[in-house]
Every structure is written in structure tokens, then in C-alpha cells.
Amino acid sequence: MTPQNLMHLPLSTPKLSIGCPILDHCLGGGIPCNSITELVGESGSEKTQLCLQLTVRAQLSPSHGRLGGSSVYIFTEFSFPFRRLQQLGNLYHASYPNLIRLEPLEDIYVHGVHDAQQLIHVLGDIEAFIAIDHTRLPVKLIVIDSIVALFRSQYQTTPADLKRRSEMFFNISGTLKGLANKFGLAVVVTNQVGWAT
């Protein structure tokens, strides 16, 4: 999907406001549901920070330009920044005391994966988790931070590995698109400049 295509999505497609009016305008209102949005930037360009903010913002009600839902955050590199997420949760709770729970992290489900095959398995578990609907808020956002980390060390640049990598990537993206459509989710994946997925 190109930025121009985002502008042509039906107006009824729910969107998750980023919180920056300029970026929201460029995206036609925010991160759209029923699709996959890729955030691309150099290492250290704050893609993770934006994703953490989205997981908290997703909890705000639709009347406030958000999704009124919980989030699944899949991290693939390093350790998950729980401390930073707690700081953001506290900040949002102070800013929106009637809209964000005292413990906003209770509506963010975090899972680490270390290779592409494990992600495929986890996505199946996530589908079952969402379908059971036993969360306080319905899951409305899936974040994968970062998609490229799953491919960087697992595959070489031989023709056979490139073919396997492409097949795995299309399998993952097809599964994510299916989840987005089936459950009306916003899906956000991060990628680094210079790594084509």
C-alpha cells in the first residue's frame, strides 16, 4: 500500500491517531485498521518509541480518535523496554485519567520471538487468543518490532536462501493481512533502512 492509496481507503475504516496532527494528516487520519503499516527508519530513529506510544493510545476510546482496544506487541530484538512502556502508561493515565486504566499495561500483551518460524506459530496463537475474546478490551493493534530482525541472521544471500526468505516473508505478511481483515486490526511492523523485506 502506498501513501496515496491510504487516502483512498473508505472513510469508515477506523484509524489509530498517531498523536501528531501533521503525521495523522499525511496518513489520512492515522494508522488504518484492516491493513499493515510499515514504519521504516534508521536504527535509533525512535520507531520503537512510536510503537510503544501506539499501544497505549490504542486504549483510548474511538470518540478520541483511537481504537478503544488492547494491543499485542511482538518484539524480536534485545529485551523489551518495559520501563519505558510503564513511563508512557503513567503519562497517558495522568493525561486521560477517565479513559486509561490505572494500570494501562494490563491491556498490552507482549511476546518475544527470535525467528520467522516462531513468529508464524505465535501468529496462530494470537488468532486463537483474539477469537476467544477474553481480554477486557478487544485486541485492535498488533505491533511487530522489528520484522527485519527475524530475517537478518537466519538467511544468507544465496539464491536458495533468498527464495526461502521471500516465501517466509509472504507467509507472514499474508497471515498478518488475514488477521487484520478478519478482526479489523491495525497492524504495524518496523523495518530498518537498507533491509528490504
User: What is d(CA 52, CA 55) in angstroms, rounded to the nearest whole number?
Assistant: 5
Per-residue pLDDT tens digits for 36-54: 999 998 888 899 999 999 9
Which of these, 163, 56, 76, 179, lies nearest to 123 by C-alpha position?
179
Q: In terms of C-beta distances under 8 Å and separation of at least 24 residues, what long-range contacts does 102-109 make, across chains too?
A: 104/56, 104/59, 106/136, 107/59, 107/69, 107/70, 107/71, 107/135, 107/136, 107/137, 108/55, 108/56, 108/70, 108/71, 108/72, 108/73, 109/70, 109/71, 109/72, 109/73, 109/135, 109/139
Compute the residue count for the chain: 197
pTM exceeds cut of 0.85: yes
- Show the cell assigned to 48: 520503537
- Show the cell assigned to 19: 498523536
Element (H, E) at 170: helix 159-183
Whether residue 75 contacts residue 110, with contact meaning beta carbons closer than 8 Å, is answered with: yes
User: What is d(CA 197, CA 193) in angstroms, rounded to the nearest whole number?
Assistant: 10
Element (H, E) at 139: strand 139-145
Q: Which residues of the chain have pLDDT under 70?
A: 1-11, 64-65, 99-102, 134, 153, 194-197
Per-residue pLDDT tens digits for 149-166: 888 767 777 888 888 888
pLDDT of residue 158: 83
**Mean confidence (pLDDT) of the chain:** 86
pLDDT of residue 2: 64
Structure letter (DSSP) for residue 15 = E
Give the orientation angle of helix 82-95 with respect to helix 47-57, to 10 degrees. 40
